[in-house]
Structure 1
Amino acid sequence: MKTNLLISLFLCGTVLSAGAQTLTLEECREAALEHNRTLRNSRLDLEAAVRTRRGAFTRYFPQVSASGGVFQAQRGLVQADFSVTLPQMGTIPMPLSLVKRGILGSVTAVQPLFAGLKIVNGHKLARLGEEVGRLQVQRTEAEVREQTEAYFWQIVSLRENLTTIAAVERQLDEIHRQVELSVRAGLVTVNDLLRVELRRQEVASNRLKVENGLKVSKMLLAQYIGADWHTLDLSASGFDRPEEPSVHYVSLEEALDRRAEYRLAEKGVEAQRYRTRMERGKLLPTVGIGAGYLYYNVMNKGVDDGMVFASVSVPISDWWGGSHALKKARIEERQAENDREEAREMLAVEIEQTWSGVQEAYAQILLMRRSVASATENLRQNRRFYEAGTVSLTDLLDAETLYTQSRDNLTSACAAYRMSLARYMRVTGR
């Protein structure tokens, strides 16, 4: 009986430990890249672009077609009247009806020799679409990593807030104990005790808000990375001791070259050039050669034959409207070039603005550290003065409130720096 109980306890402990998920930031990123549905759709778009490129490549090969049919007519398809003149009988009419039923079949293969470069440019355009798909996947991956970090650091900051609340609760418990003893001794009034209890209730209300926010943040991260929020836990060491911004700085030119959005703008210009060539190709002749096989049986006798042929098609009527379409394509090409330059300028502004935000966020951390140190010393001094009877309870509670605010402000500054740094990594193509 004892053995079975020990085995059951061991199995329960194993299940509980196996169910817990303690993930680092890098593990959350990897899970998000694997399970995020938006990224999955982006990868499916890339797969569709690959299929389009492979389909365009088949245009280089001969186009083979086959056709066949059987017909049964009510009357012969060939109707004629003949007359025969015989001696002593005169002219005798002889109506003729032929081809009442038959079988037809053919197979042809046409190899394009020149199609106005539409096939070549079409394949290049499809291959460019595949490259665009890869860049879009890269851009989506960067956005997913940034959003994952935002959820991650939000959870960590809320946990730090709970740590601060726990420390404040211990301080208030000690203050409550001292005030309660003072009330019993008749040194202070009951109003002081009520003031401490009101502060404790305020802290309890803040704890409830933070715990609810932590729950929702865990649910968001779990949905994003495909995990169970009930067992999700995070490992984040050095949250309040981040590296300096200079470690992560890259030059503006290097960042622009890495940025997927700028390369997509360049691909847009290249794609428009291919479309212009496609419009020009529509105005050029098309030349092809082919071979075929024909079989028919329309008079109860099967006939089959092979043939070779060459074809030339000149789109004369398309030259009038096609010239305007070509000019329109050239205008759209210049528009794409303007869009590329504007994208480069706006991306440069975004990168510089984000870098300024990173530096500002780090400066806030340094300021908040000094604020926490000052608030901690202020609280310690006011606790001593209160115990000595030289300051009022109101001063002590104010010092405790300032301490709480400074700790929360430091936590918020650290989270803001981490998030701004994650955004800077994205806008610099890393």
Structure 2
Amino acid sequence: MKKKIIIAVALFLTTEGYGQTILSLQQSKELASKNNMAIKNSALEIDAAQEVKKNAYTNYFPKVSATAFSMRAMDPLIKFNMPGGNLPVYDGNPANLATATEFAYFPGLNLQLLDKATVGLINITQPIFVGGKITNGNKLAQIGVEVKEQQHQLSQQETLLKTEQQYWQIVVLQEKEKTIAQYEALLNDVNKQVNDAYKSGLVIKNDVLKVQIKQSELKTNKSKLQSGKQLAIMQFCQTIGIAYDSALVLQEDLQNIQLPNAYYADLETALPNRMEYRLLEQSVKAARLQTKMKRGDYLPQVAVGAAGYYFSGLSPQNDATTNGLVYGTVSIPISDWWGGSHAIKEQKIKVQIAENNFNDTKGLLKLQMEKSWTDVNESYRQILMMEETVKQTDENLKVIQTSYNSGIVNLSDLLEAQALQTETADKLIEAKTQYHQAVSTYLQVTGTSREDKDKR
């Protein structure tokens, strides 16, 4: 019978093991990079910016347009009727016209034109100089692509940071489940001892009730923990782009704690790696190019072109006419400079604003990195203090347990020592989690990869 039970339990555990999804931190980040919708959308924005760049490049080439027109009127648009008769023959002397003796008969003329017509026109224009707007427009389009690429990297960094934070939050809940299980085992052991003592008449009913109350409180806290873990897993699965899995288990634990110096990055070196820094640089470049574009609106514009046309329907015989021409144009805005100078000054002011924002934000980014480094060191100090506290509560529980077994202290002291040990163990778990999250934030704000730091 025992063998059958052992086999059944083994099969159950094996099935449970196969049913679990186990993810490491690196696997979770890879899934988030692949599946997260914010990252996917930012990648699509890069594609859109590439199309804008390609569209801007076409401005270097000639512009070709073609027009076709055909019509049929109910009545001819041009009608002309000349009656016939005898016309004097002109002998070259105007004085003889009035007394002409010879005449020629004219049968009359009835002319109707444009009852139907067909027109075709093709025009080719090649810009030679348009104030540098084509060149600067292409440079702006290139900056647009680079900005979208940097925003994509920033979106990735923010998503990976959120993934890490949620990952460690679930890890802390997994560790707390272990703490609760240990506390539950302690209470079950105490409950057995107290019940045995009560049956033997060594303790009163009140001691049994005290243990049962602690067990009820533990069940409540355990239920809250499981509900919180379930919600945290739902959110985590949404972030990394997988279906919700209630059996999801995260592989990392809180045992591997490296010193803060392992993650340190020099601020001056790290600053240019920040995507926010690079985006601000691009905003200054874009503002300067927009000033050049605005200045181009008020410079001469030169173009050459060629045109050809086809026309039929002008003569009664509907003979077709074709022709072609080449031309050049020069357009010089003169009066526009009156208002244009103010528009250019406006753009220069916007450049100054962009430069001021860039210089101000550089200081804020450095301050953010300094604060993140302070948070890393402070959270590590919290770990050291809580580890010392855990040692003290473990020792305190051993002493109280021995004293309780010897009848020196009462049950309330033992239950209080057990609860204190569990509470400090939970605080140590939270301190380690906060340290991992602080490290993740610091690496994100310094533009550093955790994998690169861990390899060191």
TM-score (norm 2): 0.87
More displaced, 212-221 or 132-141?
212-221
1:401 CA displacement: 1.2
| Matching residue of 2:41 | 41
Helix, strand or coil at the partner of 1:120: helix
| Matching residue of 1:360 | 378
1:115 CA displacement: 0.7
Unaligned runs of 5+ in 1: 1-11
1:137 aligns with 2:155: no
| Matching residue of 2:344 | 326
1:286 CA displacement: 1.0
| Matching residue of 1:235 | 251
The CA distance in 2 between the partners of 1:99 and 1:79, in whole Å, is 9
Summarize the Cα distance change of 1:82–1:277 in structure 2 as closer, same or farther, 3 Å threshold.
Answer: farther
1:83 CA displacement: 7.8
1:165 CA displacement: 0.3
Q: What amino acid is aligned across from residue 195 of structure 1 in structure 2? A: K
| Matching residue of 2:240 | 225
1:16 CA displacement: 7.5
| Matching residue of 2:334 | 316
1:279 aligns with 2:294: yes
1:224 CA displacement: 1.4
| Matching residue of 2:442 | 424
**From 184, 199, 211, the counterpart of 1:196:** 211
**From 95, 100, 122, the counterpart of 1:107:** 122
**From 164, 169, 176, the counterpart of 1:149:** 164
Matched ranges for 1:7-406 at <5 A: 20-78=20-78, 86-87=87-88, 96-228=111-243, 229-237=245-253, 239-299=254-314, 300-406=318-424
The CA distance in 1 between the partners of 2:52 and 2:289, in whole Å, is 16
RMSD: 2.2
May I ask how many residue pairs the two structures share in their alignment?
418
| Matching residue of 1:9 | none
Q: What amino acid is aligned across from residue 232 of structure 1 in structure 2? A: L
Summarize the Cα distance change of 1:128–1:305 in structure 2 as closer, same or farther, 3 Å threshold.
Answer: same
Residues 56 and 122, structure 1, Cα contact 8 Å, conserved in 2? yes
1:187 CA displacement: 1.9
The CA distance in 1 between the partners of 2:154 and 2:299, in whole Å, is 39
Residues 348-393 of structure 1: per-residue CA shift (max 9 Å, x gap) = 1111111101111111111111111110110010000000011111
Residues 245-289 of structure 1: per-residue CA shift (max 9 Å, x gap) = 110110111121100001101100000001000000000111111
| Matching residue of 2:95 | none
1:311 CA displacement: 1.2
Q: Which has the larger radius of gyration?
A: 2
The CA distance in 1 between the partners of 2:389 and 2:129, in whole Å, is 77
1:90 CA displacement: 10
More displaced, 298-307 or 333-342?
298-307
The CA distance in 2 between the partners of 1:424 and 1:327, in whole Å, is 41
Residues 222 and 232, structure 1, Cα contact 8 Å, conserved in 2? no
The CA distance in 2 between the partners of 1:174 and 1:287, in whole Å, is 95
The CA distance in 2 between the partners of 1:371 and 1:310, in whole Å, is 88
Summarize the Cα distance change of 1:233–1:291 in structure 2 as closer, same or farther, 3 Å threshold.
Answer: same
The CA distance in 1 between the partners of 2:334 and 2:427, in whole Å, is 75
1:324 CA displacement: 1.6
Unaligned runs of 5+ in 2: 1-11, 89-102, 449-456
Helix, strand or coil at the partner of 1:110: strand
More displaced, 378-387 or 247-256?
247-256
